[in-house]
Structure 1
Amino acid sequence: MSKTIDRIVVSGMGAVTAFGIGLEPLWEGARAGAVAIRPVAGLPMAGYRTKLAGEVPEDVKPSYDGLSGAVREPSLDFALVAAEEALAASGLAGVVPPERWGVVFATCNGGLVSGEQALRAEASGQPAPFEQLLLVSPQTIAEVIGAAFGFGGPVLSVNTACASGAHAIAHAVELLRDGHADALLVGGSDSLSGVTFAGFNSLESLSPNPAAPYSKGRDGLSLGEGSGMLVLTRATIAAAHDAPVLAEVLGYGLSADGYHATAPHPEGAGAARAIVAALASGGVRPDEVGYVNGHGTGTPKNDPAEVAAVRTAFGDDTAKTLLSSTKSMIGHLLGAAGAVESIVTVQALREQTAPPTAGFLEPDPHCAIDVVPGGSRTLDTAAALSNNFAFAGANASILFGLPGRIESPAPGDEPIVITGLAALGPDWNTLAGLHAAYRDYSAADRRSERFAALLGNPEWELPPRERRRVDRLGRYAIMASAMALADAGLAGTERPAPRIGVVLGTGLGPLASIEEFVVPLVDSGPETANPAVFPNTVYNAAAGQVAMKLGLTGVTSTLTAAHAAGAAALCVARDLLRRGTADAIVVPAVDTFCAAARTAYGRLPAFARSAEYVPTEGGYGIVLEPLSKALARGAVPRAEFAGFGMASDGLGIGEFDTDGKGFERAMRAALAHAELTAAQVPRIQSNAAGVEAFDTAEFAAIGRVFDSTEPFVETPKRWLGEPVGAGAHLAVALAAEQPLAQPVLINSSSPGGTHISVVLTPVRTADDRSTSW
């Protein structure tokens, strides 16, 4: 489908950091090279290598009052206050219709403070309120942000550890380019917690002094907290409403190291690929980029790897490039770092001023580049880059430009097809086994406990020695991905494979590993922190394990949109492929259960009242690739991923519209995106999973969208159970085992009212887009 090419611009920004509340104190502090890394006042600090962090210095109280006063999550509060500033600055909140607004939210730890509080309450015999349990989820925070401002468009959460904020910007750019929203509130948030300190302390990564990035003698990072939020929109929308245009997002680059769970590739190979991709996607030469806001953590391994990456990407132009670290002043904001540092990058462009690297000690021959020591520097540049690199080897670079100065290449619109599938479930470890289970279901099969019976696939299981540092989530992701690649005929591709990526969806994420890591801390303190478990507590650890084990070093991301996470990952992967960032992407969707998950489902009102609801574990894999690539290598596509639609109810924490209005908007948007009418779609794979009120809302919406037709509506999750975030993958595996003969619409939704509808069709050429099947 041909799309109008439009520039993506930044129209508003807001921040909460150790410099205080607001964009102005952030920029003033960064420009001056002030250091806001101080003794921590809000947490007990006994048992750590440091007493310092970039702590937010004042109480943060958002205007939104939709939560119980007894439930406060600082990551959410930071994000809401930063969002209020960004929206006010943009002037778009009252003029762009609510259903055309959305949220792409990034975080590393989500509501970890709420999770820790809930565990302490449970340990003392006081059941935690369900709102507190829900706030552990990154998607819940994203949905509350959307509800606070009445948004009804896409709501996604992204979790690629310390690169999350940058990934959120990249994904938001594609949603806007493809017309899924007119304006998006994009950014990240994370807060300090004892768990985070204990984890980094166990890895011996914390510096007892304020971090000194790129300096000889540096000895670790400083943690920070806060939020950065940006309003992104298309240039035509900004012009129509006379909104500010602060900068353009020219391009981005994403890559996986496929190297180590916590350490970067020593030569910065993966980071260099991200930087090169960002420059290429923006149509910018290295000599046109005068400033790089670096990842700059201050650790012995990260800084030289980043400098090596910049030198590889910029070549002879490195000598003319300034590189500095915002983390030297406010600490490492983890999932919020990419957003806050992007804001600083935009300000650097606007004022043509490169902020310094604070605390610089003396040059390190392994970091031989101008890191702006001593004070800010004048710039003369139309473009600037922001780098963020993360645990599990997830790399992201975002390229910003001054408005109207640089022309970016046009995005592509090649059809994207499914070429590989894999399915692991409670009673099956092959596609054939899944279909047999679906054919032979009975009421007796609907066991209430289908959590820990996942069979796996012995052919693709890791050897016992390799399992020690890979949790079950990672193991199932590896198995499902390997099986799907084999099914697609890509198992023999040379490794490492920089043109094959991995985009993972997970609803519960590493909750089992988080529980394993946190419970001893709650019981006995930071000295019990297990450095072997801590790397698995980030949501993108499983995607990193896939990249490492299978040698997939192309684009990567992890989507955490609760029960719609798999669908979100498919949509993001489709966008990345249409942009030409990869030749193929494997999209695993995985979820496993633990005691904390059982507790949460038992407390959620809608689920606790639904005797028919059966959650299950699952690991599924889908391979997507451009049609031309599939045909060139002789693959037989199973289906075309023709389009998708996203909508949200925007009603608050754990709430959804019982009339199904969000469901309806998502389905109508998906049909329009696929250029189909309701009459051309004879089959629907429903989201229905046995939660009566939710299922009734969806069926009402289906009735309105397909009011003059009678599609065949299947409800596989009512019989096979719901594999949490892998529900869309289950539906695809059932629908596309054989090449599709007719279009199918697949619905996925989160308990908090996020709806994603996906349309698959038989593979279509340019001449038969209007075919009626």
Structure 2
Amino acid sequence: MEKKRVVITGMGAVSPVGNNVDEMWDSIISGRSGIDTITKVNKDDYPAKVAAEVKDFNPTDFIDKKEARKMDPFTQYAVAASLMAVKDANLEITDEIAYRTGVWIGSGIGGMGTYEEQFEKFLEKGYRRVSPFFIPMMIPDMAAGQVSITLGAKAMNSCSVTACASGANSIGDAFKVIQRGDADIMITGGTESPMNKMSFAGFSAARALSFNEDPQSASRPFDKNRDGFVMGEGAGIIILETLESAQKRGAHIYGEIVGYGATGDAHHITAPAPEGEGAVRAMQQALDDAGMTPEDIGYINAHGTSTELNDKFETMAARQVFGDHANKLAMSSTKSMTGHLLGAAGAIEAIISLKAMVEGTLPPTINYETPDPECDMDYVPNEARKAEVDAVMSNSLGFGGHNASLVFKKHQ
């Protein structure tokens, strides 16, 4: 069976550095951080004091007020980003194409804030005061469900829950749905809203977060003085479409998705496999799926969490996969500005990778001050760089040993 060619025709974003793609991209290439002191929980209750929160987002700009009240913020972000992406793609989901248009949106932890709020009500006042919308507000698949309902998309509707690889896995899985002919269009990406007490408590207890109280330097991927990630929130959505469908309706094409690799470490619940062994296989799978050599890739958007083991092992993995080409390859972490959006990270970073290719500008890794001998690649330190690249890779790695790599190339 001939594989369908799959292109990207629309993008939407809600992020700590801008509530649409243009604002986000402008912040990224300007090196502006979205990290600040936590406001959505009491910072005095936690050792982590900073976060990358979404700012000035009004769900009623996109969703009816009554309906918005039935959605956790992670779902609101996804619906908003999806509406932006569909508009950007100039896509109207008519009855004619609804049954060939699907949704695949991932989330790592879903409506944790809703769970926390409703559990407190239950403890104080009993089950009768728990919202009847509690379950559909909390479950991670509801972002995909609500987007499907809002837009009338009736093909494959799913949600990948693979921790911090959820967004990337969702895009890769949606890519395969179209490639094998089960849909013509997929609305796909990731979303997360973990700005609540229990999320901060859990990640703080695991000592995964940066305890650096300076917002401007807390997220410092690949820097020798990194001490943990900074939690972020938001959503990234892209429209994937068969080349035939895009051409038929005269859609603008941002690029083509050509490779997807997904592997498991089978090693540890939180720590990556030694030397990034699982990431090596995911990157190689993505290259093989794309029919590309290492030399074809001009830029990698790294998972780059600003944690000790991730940054070291991801560097080692990239060096193993790319060999001598790794000495010429730029690999930056935009989590230095956005923080770590957990299940939305891979989707936001896929958009940034596409923009880097389209605009000919490589995003920087900011806060890079003290080189680490064990992190020895070109991380595009501190300032964006003009560079024409024909193909890019985006990596996402998650608790549980999930590894996902996506490859995009310019559309010819």
TM-score interval, normalised by the smaller of the two chains: over 0.9
1:161 equivalent among 122, 140, 163: 163
State the alpha-carbon separation in 2 of the partners of residues 93 and 179 from structure 1: 20
| Counterpart mapping for 1:577-596 below 5 A | none
What per-residue deviation string (whole Å, max 9, x for no partner) do you get for residues 36-71 of structure 1? Answer: 101122222223222111100113315333855643
2:44 equivalent among 43, 46, 51: 46
What per-residue deviation string (whole Å, max 9, x for no partner) do you get for residues 139-181 of structure 1? Answer: 2332111101112111101100000011001110111112221
| Counterpart mapping for 1:714-729 below 5 A | none
Matched, 1:16 2:14: yes
**Contact 1:106–1:336 (Cα < 8 Å) also in 2:** yes
Provide the residue aligned with 2:341 in structure 1. 333
State the alpha-carbon separation in 1 of the partners of residues 6 and 122 from structure 2: 46
State the alpha-carbon separation in 2 of the partners of residues 216 and 159 from structure 1: 31
Provide the residue aligned with 1:223 in structure 2. 231
State the alpha-carbon separation in 1 of the partners of residues 3 and 274 from structure 2: 38
Amino acid at match of 2:105: F
- The structure-2 alpha-carbon separation of the partners of 1:70 and 1:403, relative to structure 1 and needing over 3 Å to count, comes to closer
Amino acid at match of 2:63: Y
State the alpha-carbon separation in 2 of the partners of residues 372 and 91 from structure 1: 34
State the alpha-carbon separation in 2 of the partners of residues 368 and 121 from structure 1: 51
**Contact 1:211–1:359 (Cα < 8 Å) also in 2:** yes
**Contact 1:108–1:190 (Cα < 8 Å) also in 2:** yes
Provide the residue aligned with 1:384 in structure 2. 392
**Contact 2:188–2:238 (Cα < 8 Å) also in 1:** yes
1:393 equivalent among 387, 401, 405: 401
For residue 298 of structure 2, give the secondary structure of its aligned residue in structure 1.
strand
Provide the residue aligned with 1:77 in structure 2. 76
Provide the residue aligned with 1:445 in structure 2. none
Matched, 1:119 2:119: yes
After TM superposition, give the deviation of residue 258 of structure 1 in Å.
Answer: 1.0
For residue 273 of structure 2, give the secondary structure of its aligned residue in structure 1.
coil
Provide the residue aligned with 1:678 in structure 2. none
Unpaired runs of 5+ residues, structure 1, are 405-773
**Contact 2:71–2:137 (Cα < 8 Å) also in 1:** no
For residue 310 of structure 1, give the secondary structure of its aligned residue in structure 2.
helix
**Contact 1:60–1:77 (Cα < 8 Å) also in 2:** no
State the alpha-carbon separation in 2 of the partners of residues 5 and 205 from structure 1: 41
What per-residue deviation string (whole Å, max 9, x for no partner) do you get for residues 115-160 of structure 1? Answer: 1111111112153122122221112332111101112111101100
**Contact 1:386–1:399 (Cα < 8 Å) also in 2:** yes
State the alpha-carbon separation in 2 of the partners of residues 42 and 327 from structure 1: 20
State the alpha-carbon separation in 2 of the partners of residues 200 and 31 from structure 1: 29
Amino acid at match of 2:175: V
State the alpha-carbon separation in 1 of the partners of residues 118 and 181 from structure 2: 40
State the alpha-carbon separation in 2 of the partners of residues 153 and 390 from structure 1: 28
For residue 219 of structure 1, give the secondary structure of its aligned residue in structure 2.
coil
Provide the residue aligned with 1:148 in structure 2. 150
State the alpha-carbon separation in 1 of the partners of residues 393 and 158 from structure 2: 24
More off after superposition, 321-330 vs 171-180: 171-180
TM-score by length of 1: 0.51
2:320 equivalent among 309, 312, 316: 312
Matched, 1:99 2:99: yes
Amino acid at match of 1:159: V
> Which structure is larger by alpha-carbon Rg, 1 or 2?
1
- The structure-2 alpha-carbon separation of the partners of 1:172 and 1:67, relative to structure 1 and needing over 3 Å to count, comes to farther
Question: What RMSD, in angstroms, separates the aligned Cα atoms of the two structures?
Answer: 1.4
Provide the residue aligned with 1:205 in structure 2. 208
Provide the residue aligned with 1:742 in structure 2. none
What per-residue deviation string (whole Å, max 9, x for no partner) do you get for residues 349-392 of structure 1? Answer: 00111100011121100101010002111223210000001101
State the alpha-carbon separation in 1 of the partners of residues 388 and 73 from structure 2: 38
1:5 equivalent among 3, 19, 30: 3
State the alpha-carbon separation in 2 of the partners of residues 318 and 310 from structure 1: 7
- The structure-2 alpha-carbon separation of the partners of 1:156 and 1:377, relative to structure 1 and needing over 3 Å to count, comes to same
| Greater relative contact order, per chain length (Cα 8 Å cut-off, separation 6+) | 2
For residue 367 of structure 1, give the secondary structure of its aligned residue in structure 2.
coil
For residue 43 of structure 2, give the secondary structure of its aligned residue in structure 1.
coil
| Counterpart mapping for 1:455-494 below 5 A | none
- Please identify runs of 4+ aligned residues in structure 1 that moved more than 4 A: 66-70
**Contact 2:93–2:152 (Cα < 8 Å) also in 1:** no
| Counterpart mapping for 1:19-34 below 5 A | 19-34=17-32
For residue 59 of structure 2, give the secondary structure of its aligned residue in structure 1.
coil
| Counterpart mapping for 1:179-578 below 5 A | 179-191=181-193, 192-207=195-210, 208=212, 209=214, 210-404=218-412
